Structure 1
Amino acid sequence: MASTPELGAPAPDFTLPGIVLSGTEVEQRDFTLSEHRGKPIVLAFYPGDDTPVCTKQMCAYNNELEKFTGIGAEIWGISPQDLASHEKFAQRHGLHQPLLADPEKTVIRQYGVALKGLGLKRSVFLVDAEGVLRWKHVATFGLTFQPVATLTEQIAALA
């Protein structure tokens, strides 16, 4: 397995298709990391839509989305499911953060969080406004996730 990118290095750039739920409407579009310079981005890699821990994680981030937007940050969920799965997941749980699809696991491998035969390690990467990787957490077992308070503290520390 590839290692994760080093802190202080440019975050690996990528473009992935994703969905965003706005009200009851779903917008599909591509998300390119380098096109979002100027604000911090939290990349939350999660194993699967509608699984117990992933649902709890994405709902927790969604329920406190204003804490991210209030400090000028965005949070993107990334998993290997396709856009149709993401759309159902977002609508079922009212998730308004972008959910990006990486079915080929290209970005998952690029960030060194792929698990052979198992998908991926639950991981979070914080990319600063200049596109530099500033913080990361890669779970060994993935049964827990980083809380909003931890993530917003790390974002606030960038200022």
Structure 2
Amino acid sequence: MTLLSVGAAAPPVSGPDQFGRQVSLDEYRGKKVVLYFYPKDDTPGCTKEACAFRDNFPNFKKIGAEVLGVSIDSGAKHAKFADKYQLPFRLVADEDKKIVESYGVWGKKKFMGREYMGTSRVTYLIDEQGTIEMVWPKVTPASHAEEILNYLGKKT
């Protein structure tokens, strides 16, 4: 698993969201995009992280930043997850793993002595021109949204 570096061009993001509408990174040109990758809908860590983004969403909007979540779950699973927790941002379904692979977040993981392939919890901040501005390779789900807002507050 090799993450992308700051200064690299952000690979395309294309897939359906929880409403069945196509999402493309190109539609967000001119805005900062918080692209966060998470392992699975409705699991403890992923729920904490998503709810932290939800609770801080007005602050992201205030500074003109968009939030997009990506996992390999289906659009239908995303819809249930988003509805259950009233998530106000789009969740991109990456069932064919093209996005997670292009961003270097798909790879071998270990849990309780077992190895398996999965998505690592990583966040990329993409600038207005489509370049990777910042990478958070290690994420604490409950406080991560505030960590990004603190970074953005220092940048604006």
Q: Same fold (TM over 0.5)?
A: yes
Selected match of 2:33 from 24, 30, 41: 41
The answer on whether the counterparts of 1:108 and 1:114 sit within 8 Å (CA) in structure 2 is yes
CA deviation after TM superposition for structure 1 residue 148, in Å = 2.0
User: What is the total number of aligned residue pairs between the two structures?
Assistant: 148
What is the alpha-carbon distance in structure 2 between the residues aligned to residue 109 and residue 156 of structure 1? 30
The answer on whether the counterparts of 2:39 and 2:118 sit within 8 Å (CA) in structure 1 is yes
CA deviation after TM superposition for structure 1 residue 10, in Å = 1.2
SS in 2 for 1:84: helix
CA deviation after TM superposition for structure 1 residue 157, in Å = 4.0
* 1:40-75 CA distance string (max 9 Å, x none): 000010000010000011011101100100100011
The percentage of aligned residue pairs carrying the same residue is 36
What is the alpha-carbon distance in structure 2 between the residues aligned to residue 129 and residue 12 of structure 1? 14
Task: List gaps (5 residues or longer) in structure 1.
Answer: 20-26
What is the identity, as a one-letter code, of the residue corresponding to 1:4?
A: L
Please tell me the root mean square deviation across aligned C-alpha atoms, in Å: 1.5
What is the alpha-carbon distance in structure 2 between the residues aligned to residue 8 and residue 52 of structure 1? 32
User: Normalised by the size of structure 1, how large is the TM-score?
Assistant: 0.87
* 1:113-148 CA distance string (max 9 Å, x none): 102433111010000111110101123xx6x33522
CA deviation after TM superposition for structure 1 residue 112, in Å = 0.4
CA deviation after TM superposition for structure 1 residue 29, in Å = 0.8
Moved >6 Å (runs of 4+): none
User: Normalised by the size of structure 2, how large is the TM-score?
Assistant: 0.88
The answer on whether the counterparts of 1:123 and 1:138 sit within 8 Å (CA) in structure 2 is yes
Q: Which residue of 2 aligns with 1:71?
A: 63
The answer on whether the counterparts of 1:61 and 1:148 sit within 8 Å (CA) in structure 2 is yes
The answer on whether the counterparts of 2:107 and 2:119 sit within 8 Å (CA) in structure 1 is yes
Superposed counterparts of 1:1-159, under 5 Å: 1=1, 3-19=2-18, 27-116=19-108, 117-139=116-138, 144-145=140-141, 147-159=144-156
Task: List gaps (5 residues or longer) in structure 2.
Answer: 109-115
* 1:1-49 CA distance string (max 9 Å, x none): 3x22221121112211112xxxxxxx33111112211110000100000
The answer on whether the counterparts of 2:56 and 2:146 sit within 8 Å (CA) in structure 1 is no
